[in-house]
A and B are shown apart, each in its own frame.
Chain A
Amino acid sequence: MIQDDREKIFGKIRSGLRGYQKFTFDRSSKSPLKTTLAKNFGTQFEKFKKELAILGGEAVVLNGHSSISQFLLSHIQGSAFIYDETESQFEAVISKIKKSREVKFSSDFENNYDKREVAIFDAAISTCATCSAETGTIVIENQMRLPAALATKLFIIAEPGDLIPSLDELFTDEFRNFKGSNLFLITGPSRTADIEKELVTGVHGPKEVYVIFFQP
């Protein structure tokens, strides 16, 4: 067993800081944003849509279950992975997709499933914990991490109440106590500019990202 250096490091830290004035930060509640968004869904959605579009993603508002399933079916070519949370929240939508596409759910997978089983899906469909208009960010906290990271297309079905104006509302007590082992923030498609600073999407993660707000 390799002995760690905890005590030595803490000793060095303590002696380095001895006599050094400690600083305590008085956390201000002010937002660094120059303008704040109006508190209505319409304004926040427009901002969210604009930010996501800049990154190459798409956000839409749809009214009925059938329009959502139509949207999904027209965008998904092959198979789809659907998170159980999505199925239970939008059963009517999912049952239509199930009829015309090869579909699998989180519950179809055992613990310690083979990674290759989820690497084959063209699309992943998920709900979200929240969406932030300021940056076009989606926040998810699912029981499976890989489908949303491996699929080529990612679809999020959200409700108007899921939308928050900015990151100020995200990094609060409400989201600090997230339930699983991780919280995942997605802001547009996977991207790189590592080759001569030219932007390319879909490096390792989804190439396309869609957010559908269901407004009955």
Chain B
Amino acid sequence: MELESKHFKSLYKEQIKNQQLRSNLSKATLQAVDKRAESFEEVDFSFLRDEAKKIKQESITHLNEFLSQFEDMAQKNGCKIFYAQTPEKANAYILDAALKHGVRTIVKSKSMVTEEMELVPFLTRNGIDTVETDLGEYIVQLANEKPSHITTPAIHKSRKEIAELFHEKIGSDLNTDPKFLTTEARRVLREKFLSADMGISGANFLIAETGDVVIVENEGNARLSTSAVKVHVVVTGIEKVIPQFSDLRIFMRLLARSSTGQKLTSYVSLIRGPRAKEEKDGPQEVHIVLLDNGRSGLLGTEYQDVLHCIRCGACLNVCPVYRNIGGHAYGSVYPGPIGSLVTPLYYGEKNAPDLPFASSLCGNCTEVCPVGIDIHHHLLALRQEITSSKKSSLEKFLFRNYRKTMLRPGRYKMMGKAARLLSKTGLLRILMKSWTNERDLPEFPSISFRELFKSGRLD
């Protein structure tokens, strides 16, 4: 599989020129950062992060045990479990379930794993009307685009662009008021909920102890996608399992705060299975599809803790690189700092050779990560791996020479002279074009510090 992330260099160059995108992103992410900080006032963030990290560490180092405990419990609760190594297999299973039930319309709530699988285009190609029901995802689907943020998929779009889109695709009046646009989406999607037979959701957590699927959301679309249907399919990664019900007291306090700056999201559904005998609605079948797709390859490696990620999106909001280039530039389902890790780790470095370099290594991401993933150090380690795997490169040659120059005073003096000469003639700027395109190259002084010192002209 070849990913777009391979072409990061050309993708980001396109995106960075888009002033509108940069202003949308900057407004949205800075607001998210402020709200996040405010929301942590009542709770002890470091304590919560330490606990969350330990719970995740326990979950992942005992993954086979907790996964199999979850499987047992969920099956006892009446759910059907399906394990898939690849997106193709998971997609085929879901299509098969849909066909068996004669499903024509599927309502879907937000799930990054289904983006990984390209599930919606797959089902649509197979003749099933599959509708994204999260407002942001719905906007992105109408625009025939991909989400550009983990939790705010249409963060790159302005209200004006959305109004034009709704006007063109669903016949709404050209009104840019977000209230109006939201009501329009509600009108169209309500009808979809009422006619759908199958609902697809992700899962934020799977609880081994009880077999519960935990879904966190704000709009109520996940609740409807999982309740107003005959068949509910949960699609998630194998790493989502946590040991105990009581662990939610930690994660519930962290997830919404890190993600949207709320103390808790508007809705949390704990789904234990299909409708019980005495219940009058809810799905008759619940399928849980557990996808690997490269995750198990991280176990036992130094990057194992990347599997702790709860997809809150906080690292994207604080990242100066993300803020300037947006999610689409990464060419991956997972953008931002976590995407720069996950993409090469899940799909191989060849598929994303430049993503680990898409970071200023400022460490903001690591600081806000609610499960304590050492994101920027992992990025650095990946850079090292990628660079040392190259047999020879201009970069290697330059750094070797840089080292020699710094170790030998005579050589340093000579190189300094050459650099000043090149700078004066403007040649240096031409030679370093790919560097100076996006960065300043300060003018070199006409004489060196050493010469200045020797001449006695220093105060």
Contacts and interface: CB of A to CB of B under 8 A. Distances in A.
* A-B interaction: yes
Interface of A: 2, 4-6, 8-10, 12-25, 27-28, 30, 32-35, 51, 55, 106, 109-113, 115-116, 119, 134-135, 137, 143-146, 149-150, 167-168, 170-172, 175-176, 178, 180-198, 200, 202-206
B49 to A, nearest CB: 10
Interface stretch (B267-275, B320-328, B376-384): B267-275
Interface in B16-46: 24, 27-28, 31-32, 42-44
A27 B50 CA distance: 11
B296 A190 contact: no
B276 interface: yes
Q: Which of B62, B264, B290 has the most CB of A within 10 A?
A: B264
Nearest to B57: A23
B297 A16 contact: yes
Q: Which of B271, B278, B279 has the most CB of A within 10 A?
A: B279
B135 A190 contact: no
Given A4-B82, A32-B47, A197-B31, A190 B266 contact: yes
Contacts of A112: 280
Contacts of B185: 203
Given A111-B280, A187-B262, 17 more contacts: A2-B96, A20-B61, A20-B299, A20-B300, A25-B54, A25-B58, A134-B263, A143-B279, A149-B224, A175-B245, A178-B272, A181-B273, A185-B264, A187-B264, A187-B265, A204-B189, A204-B224
B228 to A, nearest CB: 5
B182 interface: yes
B135 A195 contact: yes
B182 A183 contact: no
4 residue pairs, one from A and one from B, having the closest CB atoms: A205-B220, A16-B299, A194-B136, A204-B220
Contacts of A197: 27-28, 31-32, 152
B92 A17 contact: no
Contact of A19 (B48, B300, B304): B300
A190 B43 contact: no
A9 B249 contact: no
Q: Which of B24, B179, B218 has the most CB of A within 10 A?
A: B218
B93 interface: yes
B292 A25 contact: no
B219 A191 contact: yes
Given A17-B64, A167-B252, A5 B300 contact: no
Given A149-B220, A196-B24, A197-B31, A181 B272 contact: yes
Contacts of A14: 64
16 contacts: A2-B93, A4-B93, A13-B64, A32-B44, A32-B253, A33-B42, A33-B44, A55-B266, A150-B224, A170-B249, A176-B210, A182-B271, A191-B218, A194-B154, A202-B182, A204-B223
Contacts of B276: 180-181
Nearest to B246: A171
A172 B47 CA distance: 19
Contacts of B178: 195-196, 198, 200
B275 A25 contact: no
Nearest to A22: B61
Contacts of B246: 27, 171-172, 176
B182 A32 contact: no
A135 B61 contact: no
Contacts of A172: 246
A69 B82 CA distance: 49
Interface string B225-258: 0011000000000100001111111101100000
A18 B267 CA distance: 39
Given A16-B300, A28-B51, A145 B223 contact: yes
Contact of A10 (B32, B58, B64, B248): B64
B358 interface: no
A18 B133 contact: no
B386 interface: no
B278 A24 contact: no
A17 to B, nearest CB: 5
A27 B299 CA distance: 24
B176 to A, nearest CB: 9
Nearest to A185: B268
Interface stretch (B83-91, B111-119, B394-402, B448-456): B83-91
A193 B224 contact: no
Contact of B248 (A55, A171, A190): A171
A143 B278 contact: yes
A30 B249 CA distance: 11
Interface in B52-98: 54-55, 57-58, 61-64, 67-68, 77, 81-85, 89, 92-93, 96
Nearest to B278: A143
B344 interface: no
Contacts of A187: 262-268
A17 B300 CA distance: 5
Interface in B155-170: 157-159, 162
A52 B181 CA distance: 25
B91 to A, nearest CB: 10
A190 to B, nearest CB: 4
Given A2-B96, A32-B250, A119 B51 contact: no
Nearest to B160: A196
A189 B267 CA distance: 9
B153 interface: yes
A32 B51 contact: yes
Contacts of B340: none
A9 B237 CA distance: 12
A121 to B, nearest CB: 13
A18 B300 contact: yes
Contacts of A22: 61-62
Interface in B277-313: 278-282, 290, 292, 296-301, 304
Nearest to B298: A16
